[in-house]
């Protein structure tokens, strides 16, 4: 029986780990910088990539046995897809595994920020019961949400908000969604028009050259002063400096942020000290269910190594 060598950039759930251990040897990278990975991947057949590190052209060129890399999650912005395709490395991911975790987390941030839960909790822990008389939240019921990026996650967010709170759904995407336009009354519109109308704006786009700093000062200036902004997609989709200026100036009312331009984000990041911001450390998919499903990208990796078609190919290998 052929035994393969696998490299984990970071630990994964034991369910996915067992899949690899049944067909080969598994090693954990000692670090995820490029030079370390080049040294340690010379005999690797398959790699599992999470948030730390990436699969660069230099790593691929120095890993002659590499045939497949599995993205533990959905975003592949830390993988050089062109280099992988040129060198015959199949990239696979887990697009279905992240949908519920990200959607629920997004809605949770909306509720928490709207009800000022973080501010209330901090005050109460310091013995300030009277904070209940000073803070004024607001309800989501009947408000309008603008969803930028209407793929699986954006659609799930729309369905939850419409069903739970009767929210009106505006969306912007490169592809129309006639099914949700009919079933929940979702309205497609240009991005600038969406920003001007929405009470809540939530971002669910991949990080691409076209979406880097998609939200800059000009976009925040279009939003309503009472609007709340949420990013659970990728940090660099938002110009953080512009977001901070919009929050400080009152151009927008608040923000919920799970992802940052630099991760881990520095302790002196201004967003961390703002009362009108709810922050979490890139943990939308830190649920038992999502971690299991993301780890099972290993099943697709084994399919590729055995010559079978993967369920979720990212690139096309001849």
Query: Which residues are identified as catalytic?
Result: 234, 263, 282
**Residues counted in the chain:** 318
At residue 246, the 3 state secondary structure works out as: helix
Half-sphere exposure for 3 (CA within 13 Å, toward CB):
5
d(CA 317, CA 69): 13
Task: Assign 3-class secondary structure to 194-207.
Answer: HHHHCCEEEECCCC
Helices 99-114 and 288-295, interaxial angle, to 10°?
150
**Cβ-contact 231, 216 below 8 angstroms:** no
d(CA 284, CA 272): 18
d(CA 305, CA 66): 10
**Cβ-contact 33, 50 below 8 angstroms:** no
């Amino acid at each position: 029986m052929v035994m393969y060598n696998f490299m984990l950039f970071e630990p994964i759930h034991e369910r996915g780990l067992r899949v690899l251990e049944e067909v080969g040897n598994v090693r954990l990278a000692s670090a995820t910088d490029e030079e370390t990975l080049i040294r340690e991947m010379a005999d690797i057949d398959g790699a599992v990539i999470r948030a730390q590190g990436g699969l660069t052209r230099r790593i691929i060129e120095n890993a002659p046995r590499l045939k497949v890399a599995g993205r533990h999650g959905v975003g592949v912005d830390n993988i050089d897809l062109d280099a992988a395709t040129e060198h015959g490395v199949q990239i696979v991911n887990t697009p279905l595994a992240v949908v519920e975790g990200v959607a629920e987390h997004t809605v949770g941030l909306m509720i928490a920020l709207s009800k000022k839960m973080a501010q209330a909790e901090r005050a109460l822990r310091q013995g300030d019961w009277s904070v209940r008389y000073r803070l004024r939240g607001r309800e989501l019921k009947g408000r309008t949400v603008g969803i930028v990026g209407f793929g699986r996650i954006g659609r799930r967010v729309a369905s939850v908000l419409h069903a739970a709170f009767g929210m009106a759904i505006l969306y912007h995407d490169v592809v129309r969604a006639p099914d949700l336009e009919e079933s929940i009354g979702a309205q497609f519109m240009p991005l600038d028009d969406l920003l001007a109308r929405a009470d809540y704006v939530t971002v669910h786009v991949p990080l691409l050259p076209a979406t880097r700093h998609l939200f800059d000062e000009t976009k925040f200036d279009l939003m309503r002063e009472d609007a709340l902004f949420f990013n659970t997609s990728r940090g660099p989709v938002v110009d953080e400096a512009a977001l901070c200026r919009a929050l400080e100036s009152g151009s927008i009312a608040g923000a919920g942020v799970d992802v940052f331009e630099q991760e881990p984000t520095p302790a002196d990041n201004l967003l961390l000290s703002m009362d009108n911001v709810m922050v979490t450390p890139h943990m939308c998919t830190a649920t038992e269910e999502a971690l299991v499903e993301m780890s099972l990208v290993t099943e697709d990796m084994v399919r590729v190594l055995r010559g079978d078609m993967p369920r979720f190919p990212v690139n096309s290998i001849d």
